[in-house]
Structure 1
Amino acid sequence: MSPKLQKGEELIKGLRPHPLAFYRLYGIWVYIALVGVYFSSSPSIEILEMGPETSARVLWWLSILVPAVLIALFRINWRWLVALAIPALLAFYLPGQLEYTAFLEKWGLLWLSDQNHILTAFGVLGILGTEEHRRSHRYYITNWRLIMESGHLGVHRRTLLYKNINDLVVEQSFAGKIFNFGTIIPITASGLGLGDDFSMAGAAVGTRAMIGAGGGKTVSTPRGRSHHLLEGVGRPEQVHDLIISLMHSQS
């Protein structure tokens, strides 16, 4: 679907994120699905002096919660801990619930009475949801501005005139270098397109009385939500050069 253009405005290029742009999100849900597949094979596990059943249960929880905490810390977003803990809690709680079992019998889905099959199903749903999330992003380059949208039911839209762009940053991961995709971050004078990283150091000396000193430094780094930038677009250098040429034509 093309954006609504102003009189005299022309659409030059429409873009979507590369199929591998959200590969990290795909990887998270593939991992969850594989945990379910692995434990559904009833592996023989013994941890310390715990029995096989207890060992498998402990390892099952650790296999989900430890990566969930690490992902939440790495992405600086604790919603990931909740997002990954909920499937585990439901997979652990639902089997054996009479209402749930009756529902499965009614619809012929008794294979979902196993907690590992439930976990695998959540992983598959996560993969499909990530793909739908990727497809919901739409980027348009016109002769006047950049238009960045995401969402199907609710739409997030950012419009940026070329005259307001001070800088363009291109970021490519190792996978992006191989498959030729990357993120283009437009930065404005007001700071749109920038986020803050904060580092701090301190020291204290004392016997009875404590003397302390500390200092911190905030560094602005290119960063933004996926609808505030061109996330994972193919051939980013060509797109970058196109936008630069349009910026010059507007100056």
Structure 2
Amino acid sequence: MPDSSVTPECSLSGESPAGKGSDCGDSVSHVDPGPATPPETASATEGPVSPDNNEDLVLLTTHPDPRSFIYKYVLACFPIVLVILCIFIRSLLGGVTQALIPGIPGSFSMVVPTVTSFANLAVYLVAPVGIFVIVAGIGWTLRFTELWTSTLITLLLSIVVGMLIMSGTGIPLISERYVSGVLHWIAYLVQPFCLLSAVMILGWTEKFRRSITYTLLKENLVIRGGVWKHQEHLIPHHQIARVVLEQDFFGRMFNYGTVIPQSISRWGAETSLRGVGSSGQKDNIGAMIGFAKGREEASRYPLDCFFGIPDPRIAQELMKQLMLRPASREEEQVMYLKQIRDKM
């Protein structure tokens, strides 16, 4: 009597060795096919969803933390501080000029009104015009966009409105009265316009922060963002040389930081030069001693790195693993080739 526990062997074609497909079909019909793959998953991946066969697998999506933009918000409001500083400097310089002008000898008493008017012009040229121009230049040099834009907007609006007001008075453009009136209006108008520019730049900065998206995929990382000009950067993981994590005191306290993927092609790198030098001339013979030092640094611009993201160590660890993955694959291929060689 045959053993009922033994089932006939079937080939991959679904037929039994004896050619009885019905017996094989009965045995295969008891196999559980497993849960069906949803149509949208199958059409998107054409196979099981795994890191090995899904190139567009999203591992991480994040945005800059609002606390990482605090210093940008402060820079946007810096014109308010400049206005307070200008009022203090103007009162200080005004007191100095009033103390010096009465000391002019009597023989020069006819030029005292002229000296007084030019002294007042100089005071208003220093504060606020000169101070605002210097701060805007420093902000542009250091690439503090919020600083130089808010400062420049405040000054330009004050100049334009002041010139329009003085144009309606009928005073000739090329005259001391016109220039003095424009400077007086600038000193007054920077006070309301500093608040207006601060609000404008604060809104622009917050909109810029919300437009930034950092996406870490299986094969590359993507950086998107921009207000006036939208940018999208795609960096393959095999082109990343190293990953740098930066956290300041507040970043360590509130768990946010900047992750900088430094590319092999040195994309996003900045070069800073520092140098000292001296020169002299004696008996028409020139001599010079100079020294310069250059250093290449990674860019901290929010569209060049993962700027101020929450839980930055997670992104750093994922980038490290994905960056080292090609090396591990090469080692596996080398070991496989060695095994083939040993069998030959």
TM-score higher than 0.5 = yes
Equivalent-residue separation in structure 2 for 1:57 and 1:212 (angstroms) = 38
Go from structure 1 to structure 2 and tell me whether the alpha carbon gap of 1:68 and 1:157 turns closer, same or farther (over 3 Å shift): same
Go from structure 1 to structure 2 and tell me whether the alpha carbon gap of 1:248 and 1:31 turns closer, same or farther (over 3 Å shift): same
Instruction: Return the structure number with greater strand share.
Output: 1
Go from structure 1 to structure 2 and tell me whether the alpha carbon gap of 1:215 and 1:97 turns closer, same or farther (over 3 Å shift): closer
1:45 partnered with 2:120: no
What is the aligned-residue RMSD (CA, Å)?
3.8
Return the offset for 1:241.
Answer: 1.2
Equivalent-residue separation in structure 2 for 1:190 and 1:115 (angstroms) = 46
TM superposition score normalised by structure 1: 0.74
Return the offset for 1:203.
Answer: 4.2
Query: 1:39-118 maps to which residues of 2 (within 5 A)?
Result: 45-47=91-93, 48-50=95-97, 59-61=127-129, 64-75=132-143, 81=148, 84-94=151-161, 97=164, 115-118=190-193
Deviations 1:107-149 (A, max 9, x none): xxxxxx9542222111111111111111111110111111011
Query: 1:139-158 maps to which residues of 2 (within 5 A)?
Result: 139-152=214-227, 154-158=229-233
Go from structure 1 to structure 2 and tell me whether the alpha carbon gap of 1:96 and 1:218 turns closer, same or farther (over 3 Å shift): closer
Greater mean deviation of Cα atoms: 169-178 or 10-19: 169-178
Q: Which residue of 2 aligns with 1:246?
A: 322
Q: Secondary structure at the match of 1:49?
A: helix
Number of aligned residue pairs: 233
Equivalent-residue separation in structure 2 for 1:57 and 1:210 (angstroms) = 39
Equivalent-residue separation in structure 1 for 2:271 and 2:163 (angstroms) = 48
Which has the higher Rg, Structure 1 or Structure 2? Answer: 2
1:169 partnered with 2:272: no
Q: Which residue of 2 aligns with 1:29?
A: 76
Deviations 1:144-193 (A, max 9, x none): 11101112563211111111111111222333233322221111222123
Q: Which residue of 1 aligns with 2:267?
A: 192
Return the offset for 1:95.
Answer: 5.2
Aligned-residue identity in percent: 18
1:179 partnered with 2:257: no
Go from structure 1 to structure 2 and tell me whether the alpha carbon gap of 1:128 and 1:144 turns closer, same or farther (over 3 Å shift): same
* Higher normalized contact order (CA 8 Å, seq sep 6+, divided by chain length): 1
Q: Which residue of 1 aligns with 2:309?
A: 233
Q: Secondary structure at the match of 1:45?
A: helix
TM superposition score normalised by structure 2: 0.56
Q: Secondary structure at the match of 1:154?
A: coil
